[in-house]
Structure 1
């Protein structure tokens, strides 16, 4: 059984990590150890580079906190080109996999508040009345009428970031 450290305690992210590892490595193949670590970037990262740096920093900090693990996984959500997205970074002792999620264009009223310094989650909670929306369906769930959720979009990116770990051609 793989010891997987999730560099977050966010339920939507943990659910995506568990689902992806289960699909790739099989039912019961991993145990998720969720920890809270610093990203080293602002609460609301802006731009692909800053968001990716946050995910990489979280993996590094998770590795320092739990060096005995088999995998370290981070999902960092950000804003880039008027859209929300995330970077997923996964490492084990030998290699690293990274993938960027799909993007969701944000309405101007939301984007303006985020670009003025507010984090997307609290802004969305204000407009929707859904407390801690970032730990639930997220903006993606609201704007896709529940067709997609934060977890479902993260899931795809986690699967993509896992590609190097189960395909021999990467080695």
Structure 2
């Protein structure tokens, strides 16, 4: 059984991580240890690099808190070029996988509030009336009429970030 430390307590993120690990390693193959750690970036990261830095920082901080795990996983959501997206970073003792999620274009009315310094989740909650939307379907669920959710989009990125861990060709040279 793999001990997987998630650098988040967000249910949408944990659901995606568990589903991806079970897809790759088999049902019941993982134990999730969810912890809250600092990102080292603003609450609402702007740009790909700041968002990826937040995910990397989460993994580093999770490793410091729970050093005896098989995997450490972080998902950091951000805003870039008028869209929301996420970076996923996964580390084992000797390897790292990273993947960027699909992006969702945001309406200008939402982007204006984010540019003024507000976080996407509370802005979306204000416009939709859905309390703590970021821990549920997120903006993605609202704007895709439920066809996609935060968790479903995260799931795909986690699967992609896991690819170096179970494909031997990543370790081959030339």
TM class by smaller structure? over 0.9
Q: How many residues align?
A: 171
How many angstroms apart in 2 are the aligned matches of 1:56 and 1:66? 15
Aligned to 1:55: 55
TM-score normalised over the length of structure 2: 0.98
Structure 1 CA distance, aligned partners of 2:136 and 2:28?
24
CA distance in 2, matches of 1:63, 1:164: 19
1:108 maps onto 2:108 in alignment: yes
1:164 aligns with 2:172: no
Q: Which residue in 2 is equivalent to 1:26? A: 26
Q: Stretches of 4+ moved more than 3 A in 1?
A: none
Q: Which structure 2 residue ranges, 5 or more long, are not aligned? A: none
Deviations 1:134-166 (A, max 9, x none): 000000000000000000000000000000000
Aligned to 2:117, the other structure's residue is in SS state coil
Q: Secondary structure at the match of 1:5?
A: strand
Q: How far, CA to CA, are the matches of 1:45 and 1:167 in structure 2?
A: 31
State the Cα distance separating 1:94 from its structure 2 match.
1.1
C-alpha separation between the residues in 1 aligned to 2:47 and 2:27? Answer: 36
Structure 1: stretches of 5+ with no match in the other structure: none
Superimposed CA distance per residue, residues 85-113 of structure 1 (whole angstroms, 9 cap, x where no aligned partner): 00000000010000000000000000010
TM-score with structure 1 length normalisation? 1.00
